[in-house]
Amino acid sequence: MSDWRTRLPAVTGHRLFWPVVALVLLLVANAIYRPSFLAVEVKNGHLYGSLVDIVRLSAPLILVALGMTLVIATGGIDLSVGSVVAVSGAVACLYISRQPDQNSLGSVLVALAIALGIALLLGLWNGTLVAVIGIQPIIATLILMVAGRGLAQLITSGQIITINSDPYRMIGVGHVLTLPFAIVIALAVTLLVALLTRRTALGMIIEAVGGNAEASRLAGIRARRIKILVYVASAACAAVAGFMMTANVSSADGNAAGLWVELDAILAVVIGGTSLTGGRFSFGGTVVGALLIQTLTTSVYAMNIDPQTSLLFKAMVVIAVCLVQAPAFRARFRRRRSRGAAPAAPVGENRKEQVAA
């Protein structure tokens, strides 16, 4: 009964269809350009290959984007994640650099705890500005985006703090069970956040707050707490990403660490089909979005184009994705296509809006 005619729209209409298609196309293009691209091999018990690299390099972005997904689902936005990445990396590296034995696992864990704690405070600050004082999210987090950069530089005294700590390096470049540790962390955090939101009612409550804040309040949801929670979660994710980024290079640079990451993260969320106006969110989409962005960056590197130029491609991807998702654009497109054909009949709200308005 359900031949391709009826199934096709169901597949193409899925919100992950176009992002996945884009990702696959990009991988295919890479494979054609460089056939070794798809090769994955095990060397010294570690998994190696371009694909593995892409996933490993996208781990920090996935983390930041996960937190961003939650924030955006409540109808907010967090511009300060880049600064939080810088601050948390700087704090962790500063603490480790002051230790007599930088290789001590104990002091690395203390460093991580301190840095994570500070990041949580920064998240709490954002959440308070948005949920308690009632400042628009884009502006509230802009404050920390500006000041946090300064804070990170203050912590590093404007220097690049270099450390030599094997346990810390592990976070960025280590391996566990043949898999790069960064991938394991990203996977674990993704699963954790997904479980926390989808196995409890948190996900639905976040979507309700993002979909209609006032209705949620009147239904008895503590929207304020939920909002604070998502900003704290976002900061926590950014902090872990900050550890990864600094561990990758064993140094903390208050100026450069996490630069642009907020934009990439927002981009990943949007590509993943979560609407910037809040409401329904999709972690799967966000992960695909982050992978797509990293693949794009890696491809640009591989093709020997200046990495900054990848911004040009990103710009085009942003516009394309937003246009595809924009109702106004879709409406135009559909009108053109269905002229003459009988229009489908979405009854109900449309009518109410037009008649009762």
Q: How far is the CB of 270 from another protein (least distance, A)?
A: 7
Binding residues among 262-281 for another protein as defined by CB under 8 A: 263, 266-267, 270, 276, 279-280
Nearer Cβ to another protein (172/285): 285
Amino acid identity, residue 221? I
Q: How far is the CB of 193 from another protein (least distance, A)?
A: 14
Sign of CA dihedral 206, 210, 215, 218: positive
Q: How far is the CB of 45 from another protein (least distance, A)?
A: 39
CA–CA separation, 180 and 182 (whole Å): 5
> Would you count residue 110 as binding another protein (CB under 8 A)?
no
CA–CA separation, 228 and 242 (whole Å): 21
Number of residues near another protein (by CB under 8 A): 83
With CB under 8 A as the contact rule, the residue among 8, 319, 334, 338 that binds another protein is 319
DSSP secondary structure, 247-274, as one string: HHHTEEETTTTTTTHHHHHHHHHHHTT-
Q: How far is the CB of 326 from another protein (least distance, A)?
A: 5
Q: How many Cα atoms are found within 13 Å in the side-chain-facing hemisphere of 341?
A: 8
Task: Please name the residue that has the structure tokens 């934009």.
Answer: 263
Distances in Å between the alpha carbon of 289 and those of 72, 279, 294?
15, 18, 9
Task: Catalogue the E-assigned strands of 34-150.
Answer: 40-43, 46-49
> Would you count residue 13 as binding another protein (CB under 8 A)?
no
Task: Please name the residue that has the structure tokens 């979660």.
Answer: 233
Q: How far is the CB of 311 from another protein (least distance, A)?
A: 3
> Would you count residue 356 as binding another protein (CB under 8 A)?
yes
With CB under 8 A as the contact rule, the residue among 77, 232, 244, 261 that binds another protein is 77
Binding residues among 186-245 for another protein as defined by CB under 8 A: 199-202, 204-205, 207-208, 211-212, 214-222, 226
Binding residues among 293-312 for another protein as defined by CB under 8 A: 306, 308-312
